[in-house]
Amino acid sequence: MAAAVLLMAAPVVWFQQPLYFFNPDIEYVKAKTLRVLAGSFFTDPVTGFPNFHPPWYHVILSIPARLGIGLDTLLRYAAVQNVALILLFSWLILKRLFDRRTALCTALLVPFIFQHMGPGQIYLATAFYYSLPFYLAGLWLYLGPATTTKNLLTALLWGMAFLISPVYLFAVGFVFVYELLVRRDLRRAGAMVSVFLATITPFFVQAHSVYGPGLAGSSSFALWRGLPDSTWWMGFLSYLVSPVLGAPLTWPVPFAIAAGTIGMIGYFRRKKRLPFLYIAAAAFLFTAYHFSFTYASRILYLVALLLTGCAVEYVWTMIPRRSMAILVLVAAILAGTADHYWRYLNLYQEQAKGFADYERALAGLKANLGKYIDPAGYILATDLTYRMMIMPHVAVHGLLAYKTGEYFQLNPDISRRMQADYNRLMGSDNTAVIDMLCDAYNITTAVAGETSEMTLPVFRTIAETWTLVFHDEYFRIYVKPSRSS
């Protein structure tokens, strides 16, 4: 298992970069951490409104960041930690439910399971991936011999996981329902629910900050979405067999389906049932409905892990010759490991090609922009420039500079209004309109790319009426005349 951890973590250590450097989720993590460092826990770093994006991962990152450790370094460490702990606790959970041989073989298949039967992107150092080891550690304790201390620690770990990523709502809630209605262990259930609710108290404070001003309404979560129609079920089935892409025609899909099918056969042939498998399956279905298919793929990993364990266990009994069973399982492990390395080494190599150019283009802007921005205000920039060059490095809001506000869990009415203002601003060469919208959002600084972005009407007008305070071969920074005087 130690060798497996080293092998999985090796690409991060070798390339010395957090993967998905240009991923919006990673850029958002950096922006959120900068906002926490500025003392704003619940404010969305982009829109400026309170939202339900959990800040607790970013609070954790902000502690070493305050001590001077760079965010890229922290995310690299987080990725290595996540990989190691996900693999470790997956193995420990499997040992609770199967024999050591089955647990080891299944754990070595985790790279394939995670990528093709779960959320994928195991090196993505975002809140969910950081929360998963907390949830798995709690599950490992829960599946073991029950003691009061373990019950309370399980609830504490699940509460911490929920604070970092509320996607565990049903994965945790259905366990409590099982304890109450099936096992009828009121004392255990009551103790666990009490500790869990006490642990997530900060979430209720956060909820008040969103619901109090009437900012709720994002479709990230909904209690009722209507009866699922044929389109929903088709999408659900597509993500069930291909949870990363929702594309059922990719080559790993038959192998994932085979593992799941053999696992179900093996499960119904084994004498000892796994109640948590039913709980995880129900949590997956409810998460897909109330959250989204993307969120559901995160819970699907729990189902896939147990089904693959049943499949491995069944292979040992189905193939009478041990040497043949070993050959089949070793081939599957090697294929999964090879797929993992091929995929992620290619991703790293593609990222490395543009990383030096990115750093070079960013240098001047990053060194100078902080002198001219108001962290409580907004900045005028295109969505691409804001997302890639400003948001991860300087604490300043953007005028909803990324497609729709749903990405930021923003109320749809506010989202549409901000998006309309952004589009109107970018297309205007009218000084009065530009001034009106900039005043409405407290915009006193503008950043434009030196080449294509300077051809936009708004930046052509700003070049004539605002003050140029910085420019290099990549970017220009303008400030309103009143600000520069």
DSSP 354-399: HHHHHHHHHHHHHHHGGGT--TTSEEE--HHHIIIIITTTS--EES
- The pLDDT > 70 percentage for the chain reads 95
| Rounded mean pLDDT, 3-32 | 85
Instruction: Give the relative orientation of helices 412-426 and 457-465 as an angle to the nearest 10 degrees.
Output: 70
- Looking at residue 243, the DSSP 8-state letter turns out to be T
Predicted pLDDT of residue 18: 72
Amino acid 364: pLDDT? 95
> Among 56-70, 217-231, 378-392, 435-449, where is mean pLDDT lowest?
217-231
Average pLDDT over residues 240-251: 76
Q: Which residues of 411-437 are buried (b: 16+ CB within 10 A; e: fewer)?
A: beebbeebbebbeebbebeeeeebeeb
Q: Is residue 448 predicted with pLDDT exceeding 70?
A: yes
pLDDT surpassing 70 at residue 401: no
Of 7-11, 15-19, 172-176, 317-321, the range with the lowest mean pLDDT is 15-19
Q: Does residue 304 register a pLDDT over 80?
A: yes
Task: Give the model's confidence band at 417: pLDDT under 50 very low, under 70 low, under 90 confident, else very high.
Answer: confident
Q: How many CB atoms lie within 10 A of CB 70?
A: 11
Q: What residues contact residue 293 under an 8 Å CB cut-off, 6+ apart?
A: 235, 236, 239, 243, 246
* Span 289-303, pLDDT tens digits: 998 888 999 999 999
In the predicted model, is pLDDT for residue 19 greater than 70? yes
Contact between 381 and 390 (Cβ < 8 Å): yes
Structure tokens at 2: 């130690």
Kindly indicate the confidence band of residue 52, based on its pLDDT and cuts at 50, 70 and 90.
Answer: confident
Q: Given a cut of 70, is residue 217 above it in pLDDT? A: no
What mean pLDDT do residues 478-485 have? 73
Please give the average per-residue pLDDT across 277-299, as a whole number: 94
pLDDT for 85 beyond 80: yes
Residue 84 has pLDDT above 90, yes or no: yes
Q: What is the residue-averaged pLDDT of the chain? A: 90
Residue 17 has pLDDT above 50, yes or no: yes
User: Edge-to-edge, what's the strand order for the sheet holding 443-449?
Assistant: 397-398, 378-380, 443-449, 475-479, 467-471
Question: Which pLDDT value is given to residue 305?
Answer: 97
* pLDDT at site 485: 42
The pLDDT score that the predictor gives to residue 484 is: 43
Q: What is the DSSP letter of 451?
A: T
Q: How confident is the model at residue 22 (pLDDT cuts 50, 70, 90)?
A: confident
pLDDT digits (tens, 9 = 90+) for 333-342: 999 999 999 9
Res 8: pLDDT? 87
